[in-house]
Chain A
Amino acid sequence: MSALLEVSDLSVEFRSRAGTVHVLDRIALSVARGETLAVVGESGSGKSVAAFSIMGILDDAARIPNGRVDFGGMDLLKAKRRELDEVRGREMAMIFQSPRTALNPIRKVGHQIEDVLRRHGPVARGDAKRRAIEALEQVRIPDPGRRYDAYPFELSGGLCQRVMIAIALCCKPRLLIADEPTTGLDVTTQATIMDLLAELGRETGLATLLITHDLALASQYADRIAVMHAGQVVETAPTASLFAAPRHPYTAGLMGATPTSTTALDALESVPGRIPPLNADLPVCRFAERCSRRVAECDDPGPRFDADAQAPDHYFACRRPL
Chain B
Amino acid sequence: MLDVQGLSKLYPVSDGESAPMRALRGWARHQPCPAPKLHAVDDVNFTIGAGESVGLVGESGCGKSTLVSLITRLIEPSAGAILFEGEDIAAINTRAFARSPERGAIQVVFQDPHDSLNPRHSAFDAIAEPLRRLKKMATADCRPRVAELARDVGLPEELLDRLPHQLSGGQKARVNIARALAPEPRLLVLDEPTSALDVSVQAVILKLLADLRSRLGISYLFVSHDLNVVRLLCDRVIVMYLGRIVETGTAEQVFEQAAHPYTRALISAIPRTIEESEVERIHLPGDPRSPVNPDPNVCRFYGRCPRGVDQCQRNEPRLQRLAEGHEAACHFADEASPLSALRFQ
Which residues of chain A have a CB within 8 Å of any CB of chain B? Answer: 42-43, 142, 156-157, 159, 186-192, 194-195, 213-217, 219-220, 239-240, 243, 253-265, 268-271, 274
Contact = CB atoms under 8 A, between A and B. Distances in A.
A259 B269 contact: no
A214 B200 contact: no
A259 B226 contact: yes
A250 B28 CA distance: 72
B269 to A, nearest CB: 4
B273 A142 contact: no
A268 B60 CA distance: 27
Interface string B238-264: 000000000000000001000000000
- Chain A contact residues, majority secondary structure: helix
Interface string B190-208: 0000000011111110110
Query: Range of interface residues on chain B?
Result: 35 or more
B203 A261 contact: no
B275 interface: yes
10 residue pairs, one from A and one from B, having the closest CB atoms = A271-B200, A270-B203, A191-B269, A186-B59, A259-B228, A216-B271, A217-B271, A42-B198, A270-B204, A187-B269
Contact of A261 (B59, B170, B207, B231): B231
Given A187-B225, A268-B207, A213 B286 contact: no
B281 interface: yes
Given A213-B199, A261-B255, A157 B272 contact: no
Which of A188, A195, A263 has the largest number of chain B CB atoms within 10 A? A188
A269 B202 CA distance: 10
Given A190-B269, A191-B269, A214-B271, A268 B59 contact: no
Contacts, number: 110
A258 B232 contact: no
Interface string B254-296: 0100000000011011111111100001011011000000000
A186 B283 contact: no
Contact of B199 (A191, A239, A240, A257): A257
A268 B206 contact: yes
A188 B263 CA distance: 10
Contacts of A159: 287
B139 interface: no
Contacts of A42: 198-200
A220 B274 CA distance: 7
A210 to B, nearest CB: 12
B269 A262 contact: no
B226 A219 contact: no
Interface of B: 59-60, 168, 170, 198-204, 206-207, 210, 225-229, 231-233, 255, 265-266, 268-276, 281, 283-284, 286-287
A187 B270 contact: yes
B269 A188 contact: yes
A256 B199 CA distance: 9
A268 B265 contact: no
Given A188-B266, A220-B272, A195 B200 contact: no
Contacts of A142: 286
Contact of A254 (B200, B227, B265, B271): B200
Contacts of A268: 203, 206-207, 232
B77 to A, nearest CB: 25
A189 B287 CA distance: 10
Given A188-B59, A257-B199, A268-B206, A216 B272 contact: yes
B275 A260 contact: yes
A257 B202 contact: yes
Given A216-B271, A265-B210, A187 B198 contact: no
A192 B271 CA distance: 12
A240 B274 contact: yes
Contacts of A157: 60
Nearest to A192: B283
B198 A213 contact: yes
A46 B340 CA distance: 39
B113 to A, nearest CB: 13
A230 to B, nearest CB: 12
5 contacts: A215-B273, A217-B271, A219-B274, A254-B199, A261-B231
Contacts of A220: 271-273
A145 B202 CA distance: 44
Given A254-B200, A259-B229, A260-B273, A187 B210 contact: no
